[in-house]
């Protein structure tokens, strides 16, 4: 599902991201199925979900295909590609493109648990081998 940078979709809003999470968990899905997963929790209606899905289709993050009188939606953008792009943007924007200051900030704010630190140490060991 990886796509060249010039084909990446426009930025995905927080609301659109909630819809993408539903589609990443299981797809294809109808708008009604997506709504069943998010509408109550977010106090949305089916028209809201349809609008968000339309935006995601326009951004080329989601594909749609007819299925009788309804449409089925599937992600075109993998969750891993999305997370990679968002992570890179965060590090570039807030930490001058360097990951080390991000980790230093998290450590200073005590936002890293012992489990987080152990996981980071294990990842670093793997990368060095």
Q: Give yes or no: residues 24 and 43 share one domain.
A: yes
Q: Give yes or no: residues 17 and 49 share one domain.
A: yes
CA distances from 15 to 7, 42, 66, 67, 114 (A): 22, 9, 24, 25, 32
- Domain limits at 111? 79-128
pLDDT reported for residue 4: 43
- Per-residue pLDDT, averaged over 37-48, amounts to 97
Residue 42 has pLDDT above 70, yes or no: yes
Residue 28 has pLDDT above 70, yes or no: yes
Q: What's the whole-model pTM score?
A: 0.76
Q: Give yes or no: residues 16 and 46 share one domain.
A: yes
Contact 49, 41 (CB under 8 A): no
pLDDT reported for residue 9: 53
User: What mean pLDDT, rounded, does the chain reach?
Assistant: 88
Q: Give yes or no: residues 68 and 86 share one domain.
A: no
Residue 6 has pLDDT above 50, yes or no: no
């Amino acid at each position: 599902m990886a796509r060249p940078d010039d084909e990446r979709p426009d930025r995905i809003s927080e609301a659109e991201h909630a819809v993408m999470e539903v589609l990443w968990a299981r797809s294809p899905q109808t708008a009604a199925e997506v709504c069943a997963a998010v509408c109550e929790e977010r106090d949305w209606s089916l028209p809201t979900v349809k609008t968000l899905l339309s935006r995601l289709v326009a951004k080329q993050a989601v594909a749609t295909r007819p299925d009788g009188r309804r449409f089925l939606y599937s992600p075109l953008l993998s969750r891993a590609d999305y997370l990679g792009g968002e992570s890179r943007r965060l590090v570039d924007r807030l930490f001058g493109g360097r990951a080390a200051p991000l980790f230093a900030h998290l450590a200073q704010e005590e936002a890293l648990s012992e489990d987080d630190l152990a996981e980071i140490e294990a990842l670093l060991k793997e990368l060095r081998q």
